[in-house]
Amino acid sequence: MSNVRSLRRTGKPPRPYLHVPEPKARPGEPADFSTLAIPEAGRQARPAVDASARELRPFAEDLIRVMDGEGRAVGPWDPKLDADTLRRGLRVMMLTRAYDDRMYRAQRQGKTSFYMKCTGEEAVASAQAMALNRADMLFPTYRQQGLLIARDWPLVDMMNQVYSNTQDRLKGRQMPVFYSSAEAGFFSISGNLATQYSQAVGWAMAAAIKGDSRIAAAWIGEGATAEGDFHHALTFASVYRAPVILNVVNNQWAISSFQGIAGGEATTFASRAIGFGIPALRVDGNDFLAVYAVTQWAAERARTHVGPTLIELFTYRAAPHSTSDDPSKYRPAEEARQWPLGDPIARLKQHLISLGQWSEERHVQLESELIEEVRAAGRQAESYGTLDKGPHHSAKTMFEDVFKDMPWNLRRQRQESGV
């Protein structure tokens, strides 16, 4: 009851109380999406990339959608991709899912310590990587493995990292899924959330200083937008008009905390950008076409030095946070399956079928091909070692790369360790 109503009824205000946000439903209750406003696909205007911040404000509250309920692409945001590109997008998402499934099982089999799936969020990384140029620099967080897959990075190399084996380029120093590849333009993932956000802005500032046409893109979860680095990144991006795309993946859950705990009850995460004078687009994150289109729009803004863009990708974390998490303890079991924006793979598949460019048979066939591809990569990676059984890099390597040149104290400690 509002204070005003209580005052009218009883003549005195209610006792002060602390509001602690609660999700609509908890385990044992039916999933409740009654407060989700999902606009019809195709209804959102596509503004010019140099439209004023004021003109662009409504997009922070809207939800850009391209695929309608029948899988047809409608409205001005349709990126009008050719069938080969669409099939490639489908393949990248399906390969990401097949990869996730295998590595999740590998963790359960004890072959590694930890794993994180991106199930239900595959469109985010896949469509965004495809909409960017190969030379653009990516500053991901831990659930964008699809960026590497979309850039055709070898699965074996990713698995080597997850297994911390002898071929792991990170020499067994990082937790599983904290990939890094300079060659793929994929920045080293940090466990300290949000740090990559201001780093991406710094990289973009450097590109601008050098007159380089490459741009940067960063990803963050809605939960970590509460970190200071998020706000520093937006301030710096705005002040210097850095050529950067700042993506917020709103997958509703930060481990067990629903998005309301990050401040999502009162406003959208996209709206955070408005106070910084940065245009924000809010997009159906399970709509491959919409994600592709808004990323293209933001990339053009960055590349033509109009300025940065924030994109809120509205999606749902169908997977547990990680292999160390059990979502049945804090959210309804049916919530993922009933997510009103559906599954990104199923939706793009439906779209391709509606175009006459895909079929159930081809889908099943591709699925089994991808499972076999992942299995073959897995066999190869495991031949280089797994976390549980080894082999690993020599313990000697522990002392390397702290500095470019090893100082006396590390040389001495290495000698003392006997490795």
**In this chain, which of 216, 280, 294, 345 binds another protein, going by CB under 8 A?**
216
Q: What tokens does 274 get?
A: 């408005």
Pairing of strands 309-314, 244-250: parallel
Triad 116, 121, 27: Cα angle to 5°:
75
Question: Binding segment for another protein among 1-9, 140-148, 233-241, 277-285 (CB under 8 A)?
Answer: 233-241
Question: Binding segment for another protein among 3-11, 123-131, 168-176, 358-366 (CB under 8 A)?
Answer: 168-176
Question: Binding segment for another protein among 205-213, 278-286, 309-317, 361-369 (CB under 8 A)?
Answer: 205-213
Of residues 153 and 258, the one with the C-beta less far from another protein:
153
Q: Does 174 bind another protein (CB under 8 A)?
A: yes
CB of residue 116 vs another protein: minimum separation in angstroms? Answer: 17
Q: What tokens does 107 get?
A: 């963790």
Q: Does 276 bind another protein (CB under 8 A)?
A: no
The residues near 241 (Cβ < 8 Å, ≥ 6 apart) are 208, 305, 306, 307, 308
Reduced to 3 states (helix: H, G, I; strand: E, B; else coil), residue 244 is: strand
DSSP 8-state code for residue 187: P
CB of residue 408 vs another protein: minimum separation in angstroms? Answer: 6
Pairing of strands 253-254, 257-258: antiparallel
Q: Does 197 bind another protein (CB under 8 A)?
A: yes
Reduced to 3 states (helix: H, G, I; strand: E, B; else coil), residue 181 is: strand
Of residues 11 and 407, the one with the C-beta less far from another protein:
407
Question: What would the x/- binding string for another protein be over residues 120 to 149, using CB under 8 A?
Answer: -----------------x-x----------
Whole-angstrom Cα distance, residue 414 to residue 408? 10
Q: Are 397 and 164 in contact (CB under 8 A)?
A: no
Q: Does 210 bind another protein (CB under 8 A)?
A: yes
Q: Does 48 bind another protein (CB under 8 A)?
A: no
Question: Which residue stretches of 35-119 are H helix?
Answer: 53-56, 83-108
Q: Does 233 bind another protein (CB under 8 A)?
A: yes
What is the sign of the dihedral through the CA atoms of 167, 168, 170 and 171?
Answer: negative
CB of residue 227 vs another protein: minimum separation in angstroms? Answer: 9
Whole-angstrom Cα distance, residue 141 to residue 129? 14
Question: Binding segment for another protein among 52-60, 128-136, 184-192, 250-258 (CB under 8 A)?
Answer: 184-192
Q: Are 294 and 46 in contact (CB under 8 A)?
A: no
Question: Binding segment for another protein among 28-36, 96-104, 202-210, 365-373 (CB under 8 A)?
Answer: 202-210
Question: Binding segment for another protein among 122-130, 298-306, 323-331, 401-409 (CB under 8 A)?
Answer: 401-409
Whole-angstrom Cα distance, residue 328 to residue 121? 19
Q: Are 71 and 357 in contact (CB under 8 A)?
A: no
Q: Does 178 bind another protein (CB under 8 A)?
A: yes
Chain positions contacting another protein, by CB under 8 A: 137, 139, 168-171, 173-174, 178, 180-182, 187-188, 190, 192, 195, 197-210, 216, 228-229, 232-233, 235-236, 239, 400-404, 407-409
